[in-house]
Structure 1
Amino acid sequence: MSGLVFEANTRAPVSAPERADIACFVGFVRRTGAPVSPEIQQWLFEHGWSGEPAPWKAPSSALRELTDVPAPFERWNDFVRHFDWEGTYLGAAVRSFFAQGGRKCYVVRVEDPWVPGASRTVRAGRLQGLLRGTGKLFEATPFERSTWKGAAHVLGLPDVSFLCMPDLAAALAVDAEPLPPPVQVPAGPEVFVECSEQPSAPLESLPSTLAAPRCDEDGYEEWSLFLERVKELLSRHGREVQLVAALPLPYPGVRARAWERTGIMEEAPYAFLLTQDHFRLFESAFVQLVYPWARTPGSALLPEGFESPDGLLTGVLARNALLRGTFRSMMNLGLADVDELFPVLGRGTLATRPAPPGGQGARPLPERISVLGPTPGGLRVLSDVTTSPRESWRQAGVNRLFSVLIRAARRAGLDVLFEPSSERTWRELVYRLETVLVRLWEVGALRGASAREAFELRCDRTTMTQDDLDAGRLVAEVAFAPAAAIERIHVVLTVAAEGVISFRAEETP
């Protein structure tokens, strides 16, 4: 025989709701001509996307092209086999996710990317594919699978912890402008050389001649409104999922009105968002912004060679969850396979407190946005924060810890869902939740010299009224002290008759 070929027999990815490192990427990318792998076909069948005809089933063309259906990937090579990713923001983000240490993600391909140089009107019209709705109202509901389109697929993916839409900034950017021609190096003296015809590079492998996507006032306003819609979706139906979004680069002609001196907004677009009162639209513990943008080997064919950094940060979050625990801050973690950050934020930009009109000085940029930057030890994550205005929820690790607790509570609630509401059932639920909380305390997620100091847990007649008992609601109160420099958090968990977990906190995240 001519040789041996070894081919790994991979299995269909298995859902694991207890994991806290899995991401879902939603965006635009082209399909290759390769057939869908048997593993993904099996996963789609097992989760009800294919099989017998039904109103929520995806049509055969969508399954063949992987259009608006979640496709699980555990290896970068599998993604490359299914998608022609080069020159797309979604492809560069997924590559950075795996390069930074991510181990599993879902990809929801909305449709093919827009043609290079498409107008903002054309690009902005594609946003309905990312999440349908008007204003902050969305069309999706967790009880109707046919409404799961774009980002709404997280409603049917219980193991997803992070949501990324890398094309969002590019969709709302000003119309792309060509880059200035390169500087011509003076030619040397003419000499005779051997005549030969140099092969031309394939068209698809040439670097882009367009400028990186940048937003003006209108672009930032539309971007903020769209983030508000995603925030509403997650706060109502996806409390264990965190949106990781890139702060768009600013258009050079736009200036930040928040600064006392006149400065190009590229130095601090965060100040402009505060000045225009856009930041309040999406500020929440469910939204984590990242800045600046990055140049990696996977972004070579993108405009100016820069990619949206949300996939990069999500990969660091996944690595942090797998190696150290998702509740720990990822500050000072290194960035692998990153050549350059743009723009480089100076010390003044990081320390300045913007002053919104009619208000006190706001927090500096690193206290509201997760910042990437250079250090003596290389490129690292300089801050790990959410956009929440509440001090208790500002540290992103606290929100991720809370998501872990909510998932554990949901599993415990489902185990006793069909049991009668009695003291025996209440004790069983307390035992299950206590086991989870003790384990979190043992690994350092909770603060206290003992488990008794770290948390309090009650589920009895003092936490439920007679109306709760008659309606089939089981209410447990949990007070825990995260291992962070904040106050104690008090949460009330409720298991309704249909098995839905809800919570009420002293502060809105």
Structure 2
Amino acid sequence: MVDYQTKAPGVYIEEITPAGPIAGSGTSTAALIGTVTANLPNGQLGVPVAVTSWSGYVAAFGGFDRNLNLPFAVRGYFENGGTLAYIAPIKDMAGLPAALDALTRVPDVSLVALPGVVDPAVQTTVITHCETMGDRFAVLDGAPDATPLKNDGALQTQRGGLLSRNGFAGLYWPWIVISDPTVAPGAAPATLTKPPSGHVAGIMARSDNQRGVHKAPANEPVRGAIDLAYPLNDTEQGTLNQKNINALRSFPGRPPLVWGARTLTDGTPWRYVNVRRLFSYVEDSILAGVRWAVFEPNNTGLWKGLERSITEFLTRVWQSGALFGRTAAEAFYVKIDDELNPDSTRALGEVHIEIGMAPVRPAEYVVVRIGIWDGGAQVNEG
């Protein structure tokens, strides 16, 4: 602040630039909900606690219990690249609503998992939470099923009850086989079969940090998994993929991989995990980045400031490879004008902005055409 009392009388100009650059919001913080080993008092149940490592989780909630899924999911989350998670401990599913309500007060969560719970009604509660928040994605476990292609099987029945209109959830299957960390030193090694959601959430965090939220979190190794509970073949996965069930696959010479990137929706616009999460990221970033405009005079100066801030941010999003187009103008547009904001709208204290984006979608099918070449003649496809 300039002390004008020390200056000569006159006119002085100060430049103010409230329309600062929009910072990208975080996308890789997970909320993991479930039963912990420690016997917690009622006052701590449902209360999210931030942890940044497996050792931090152990200090707060105890270690492994072979009968619980949450501890293995948390370790898998950090093994696969997660750096921050909120643990919401519950005694049973009766505590889920309170835990989800508490998580509405933790704004940096972007991934939500309920490891090992495959009841469609319970999972739908988590999906509804993510849809209501608008910036969260539910990472769900598929039901253990020895006959996954049967229409009356557990996996198919579960999937049928989970359709999410705007794609705020993904279903991952099969469960993974891990080394049993509870085996005493010197004893024979043993394995456990556990749900993949915690590991997948960690993979999403890793992919976000290494490539960006626009990259589909697929064709990624599942660290800590030594095998899969069900070895899918291509035909079986083709059937499940049509129903938007994301497979985990094993290929020769490779560790188990996430081999699907679809959301639980029948609608094409929100079919892919990365598209849904990209829009959530952009919406969250703009929401926080233009908060300066609230209560400013609703005039063309404000409109230009908003347009400038949002355009600059979306240009950076396009430059990162998240939007399709040879130029920024082909990749997105920002509209804020008299047509959107007539006198009647401004009289209500409202300013309306329209944004369109062309997101990149994953190359889910790579088609290679190969044939016999006669040395100068056209390829004869066979």
Q: The TM-score by the shorter chain falls in which range?
A: 0.7 to 0.9
1:256 is aligned to 2:150:
yes
Deviation at 1:299, TM superposition (A): 6.8
Matches within 5 A, 1:31-430: 31=38, 66-87=44-65, 88-111=68-91, 126-131=92-97, 149-169=98-118, 223-236=119-132, 238-250=133-145, 256-257=150-151, 265=153, 269-270=155-156, 272-273=157-158, 277-280=160-163, 282=164, 284-297=166-179, 305-352=192-239, 364-365=240-241, 368-376=244-252, 377-430=254-307
2:18 corresponds in structure 1 to none
Given residue 452 of structure 1, which amino acid in structure 2 is its aligned partner? A
Task: Indicate the RMSD between aligned Cα atoms, in angstroms.
Answer: 2.6
Contact map agreement 1:28 1:167 (CA 8 A) in 2 = no
Structure with higher RCO (Cα < 8 A, 6+ apart): 2
TM-score normalised by the chain length of structure 2: 0.80
Identify if the C-alpha distance between structure 1 residues 99 and 443 changes in structure 2 by more than 3 Å, giving closer, same or farther.
same
Q: Which deviations, in whole Å up to 9, do the C-alpha atoms of 1:371-410 show, x marking residues without a partner?
A: 1110233211111111111112111110111011111111
SS in 2 for 1:296: strand
Segments of structure 2 that go 5 or more residues without pairing to the other structure are 1-22, 184-189, 364-382
SS in 1 for 2:90: strand
1:450 corresponds in structure 2 to 327
Contact map agreement 2:27 2:110 (CA 8 A) in 1 = yes
Distance 1:283 1:341 in 2: 30
**Which shifted more, 239-248 or 343-352?**
343-352
1:211 corresponds in structure 2 to none
Q: Which deviations, in whole Å up to 9, do the C-alpha atoms of 1:48-107 show, x marking residues without a partner?
A: xxxxxxxxxxxxx656xx322111111211111111231221111110000001111100
Contact map agreement 1:440 1:446 (CA 8 A) in 2 = yes
Deviation at 1:167, TM superposition (A): 4.2
Q: Which deviations, in whole Å up to 9, do the C-alpha atoms of 1:8-34 show, x marking residues without a partner?
A: xxxxxxxx981111100111113279x
Q: Which deviations, in whole Å up to 9, do the C-alpha atoms of 1:133-160 show, x marking residues without a partner?
A: xxxxxxxxxxxxxxxx212333112111
Distance 1:24 1:349 in 2: 31
1:431 is aligned to 2:295:
no
Deviation at 1:290, TM superposition (A): 0.6
Distance 1:79 1:419 in 2: 45
Matches within 5 A, 1:492-503: none
1:460 is aligned to 2:337:
yes
SS in 1 for 2:198: helix
Distance 2:314 2:197 in 1: 31
Distance 1:94 1:468 in 2: 48
Contact map agreement 2:219 2:258 (CA 8 A) in 1 = yes
Given residue 29 of structure 2, which amino acid in structure 1 is its aligned partner? I
Identify if the C-alpha distance between structure 1 residues 421 and 130 changes in structure 2 by more than 3 Å, giving closer, same or farther.
same
Identify if the C-alpha distance between structure 1 residues 17 and 127 changes in structure 2 by more than 3 Å, giving closer, same or farther.
farther
Distance 1:467 1:162 in 2: 39
SS in 1 for 2:45: coil
Contact map agreement 2:77 2:199 (CA 8 A) in 1 = yes
TM-score normalised by the chain length of structure 1: 0.61
SS in 1 for 2:115: coil
Deviation at 1:323, TM superposition (A): 0.7
Distance 2:299 2:347 in 1: 12
Given residue 62 of structure 2, which amino acid in structure 1 is its aligned partner? D
Contact map agreement 1:284 1:389 (CA 8 A) in 2 = no
Contact map agreement 1:96 1:298 (CA 8 A) in 2 = no
2:367 corresponds in structure 1 to none
Query: What count of residue pairs does the alignment treat as equivalent?
Result: 332
Contact map agreement 1:287 1:387 (CA 8 A) in 2 = yes
Contact map agreement 2:149 2:236 (CA 8 A) in 1 = no
Deviation at 1:273, TM superposition (A): 4.6
Deviation at 1:250, TM superposition (A): 3.1
Contact map agreement 2:244 2:262 (CA 8 A) in 1 = yes
